[in-house]
Structure 1
Amino acid sequence: MRTTTRLALLGAGVSLLTTAVCASPAQAGDGGSGDITIDKVVVNGGKPVVVGTTKAVSAKVSVTASDDSGIAETTYISAFGPSPNFAQIWADAGDITCVKTNATTSTCSGTLTFDPQASTGFVDNGAAATWKLGTLVSANDHDFIHRDAATTFKVQRASKLTADASPEPVKKGRAITVTGKLSRANWEDNQYHGYASQPVKLQFRKKGSSTYTTLKTIRTTSTGSLKTTVTASVDGYFRYSFAGTATTPAVNATGDFVDVR
């Protein structure tokens, strides 16, 4: 059996838009009544939600709950960003579909939309942080359970990385210069800006191989730029590789082939 309820995506410090049959807005915060349980909560498959500068990103969320009377139609889910950077970010309503696993357990799934271009979108880069997913679930016997942080998940600023090796071709034993740039989304002007002072690995993959080997680690400049030299030895691909940070995901540049003669 499928039932439909509503989803709301909110900023830090904002209570759930509405509550289950037996819970009033005054009951915000962790709490509940009866033997209902939240068994599992998953956001975006357990991976960080990575947001760029132009496209809205959808993240699936599912809440599995159990009660001896079965789970009622009314389930609410809200995402809360870090305080005090912003109050309400979105009030983006969409359908949540609840599917019975058995007579006592249901999984309710919906989609959170993260849109950097929306007028109620990211206020500043402080949104790149750990978020809380709040949920309120009710049962057919009027039991209910509310959790302000049923689980947590990360929202990150999308990253880009480039690599350019030259000259091409090059004589064996000569110097190869590898330049590049590490940048990430800035939600205050919806542009990509260089990510300064970050460790980035220069890696090489020999022609015919599928494995990259790290040659050295260098740091980005104040503008996110990268530049280093190596000695030409055999044909292969050079790339930069960034391991990521709490606010920015890992990224690898596309390998640039160099013909050594």
Structure 2
Amino acid sequence: MRVRSIVGAVCGAVALSALVVPAAQAEENPITFSGIAINSGEPLVVGTGIPHIFNVHYNVNHTNELHSSEAHLYTGSAGEWKGQTDAAGDPSCRELSATVTRCVQALAIDPKKLSDNDLAGTWHVYLEATDVDYNVAGKGNLYPTTVLRNSVMARTEVAPEPVGKGETITVTGELTHADWNTHTYVGEAGKSVELQFRPSDSLSYSTVKTVETGSGGALKETLTAETTGAWRWYFASDGTTSGAVAVGDAVVVE
């Protein structure tokens, strides 16, 4: 079965108030939604240039034959979307039974249409559907999904190389994030970043200390060289920006 899209009939935030089913009628509506999934529950990471395309999977439960359905992802309140996705294709649906239809729709978050870093964080799914008897259902505030600004870590640099045991080494780097105000990558001061070390006879890194970024996202730390191995910077996601790991720099300690 091919379910037709109703993009032209309903559009964006204007359609929200018209499609939301009043609470008093919700139990009577023959259309409901379930089984929503996006990116296996993992955050969606958005940069500054190319739109991030992803799929929304969901079930439409219907008493009558389904006519059309559509999905959106948005941030803001149900009545006022501050940021939203674009459709990257029509929904594709297949019948699981006479009353359940499984749909998937490709959506895109275009960073060029995001104008504030505060839009990072929790977004929600809005689903709508219409059956052949013109029953219409629209429901928002579904399936909280984290949308993050992309983070980039510059290559780790250690100096001097090589170095004598007991001498001082300086480890530097830089952490920047997608800035949706300027649509460039910008460093921010005060971000906590882990400085990690891997001995030459090991495959695993361990954290030596935590360092805060300086102006422009600059990272710098001085240490005493003890063992040959590799150093790198590691940043964990903070809820609005994605995690990032720098390429390590190996140092021979003589």
TMscore range, shorter length: 0.7 to 0.9
Contact 1:39 1:66 in 2 (8 A): yes
Pick from 198, 203, 209 the counterpart of residue 216 of structure 1.
Answer: 209
Task: Structure 2 unaligned segments of length 5 or more: list them.
Answer: none
Partner of 1:22: none
Alpha-carbon offset, residue 52 of structure 1: 0.9
Partner of 1:251: 244
The residue type equivalent to 2:168 in the other structure is: A
Q: Percent identity?
A: 33
Alpha-carbon offset, residue 248 of structure 1: 0.3
- 3-state SS of paired residue (2:118): helix
Contact 1:129 1:155 in 2 (8 A): yes
Partner of 1:236: 229
Partner of 2:15: 16
Matched, 1:154 2:153: no
1:7/1:207 CA distance change after superposition, 3 Å: farther
TM-score by length of 1: 0.83
User: Which digits, 9 at most, give the CA deviation of each residue in 1:78-132, with x for residues without a partner?
Assistant: 2222369975766546311012223332211111111223xxx112222212112
Q: Tell which deviates more after alignment, 161-170 or 139-148.
A: 139-148
1:115/1:88 CA distance change after superposition, 3 Å: closer
Partner of 1:75: 69
Cα distance in structure 2, aligned partners of 1:233 and 1:200: 22
Query: Residues 101-250 of structure 1 correspond to what in structure 2 (within 5 A)?
Result: 101-117=96-112, 121-139=113-131, 144-162=136-154, 163-250=156-243
User: Which digits, 9 at most, give the CA deviation of each residue in 1:151-201, with x for residues without a partner?
Assistant: 221221100113211211111221121111111011122111112201111
The residue type equivalent to 1:64 in the other structure is: N
Contact 1:201 1:240 in 2 (8 A): yes
1:94/1:16 CA distance change after superposition, 3 Å: farther
Alpha-carbon offset, residue 219 of structure 1: 0.8
CA RMSD in angstroms comes to: 2.8
Partner of 1:20: none
Matched, 1:39 2:34: yes
Cα distance in structure 1, aligned partners of 2:192 and 2:147: 21
Contact 1:10 1:88 in 2 (8 A): no
TM-score by length of 2: 0.85
- 3-state SS of paired residue (1:3): coil
- 3-state SS of paired residue (2:91): strand
1:211/1:128 CA distance change after superposition, 3 Å: same
Matched, 1:95 2:94: no
1:226/1:88 CA distance change after superposition, 3 Å: closer
Alpha-carbon offset, residue 45 of structure 1: 2.6
Contact 2:70 2:105 in 1 (8 A): no
1:81/1:193 CA distance change after superposition, 3 Å: same
The residue type equivalent to 1:123 in the other structure is: S
Task: Structure 1 unaligned segments of length 5 or more: list them.
Answer: 18-24
Alpha-carbon offset, residue 6 of structure 1: 5.1
Partner of 2:45: 50
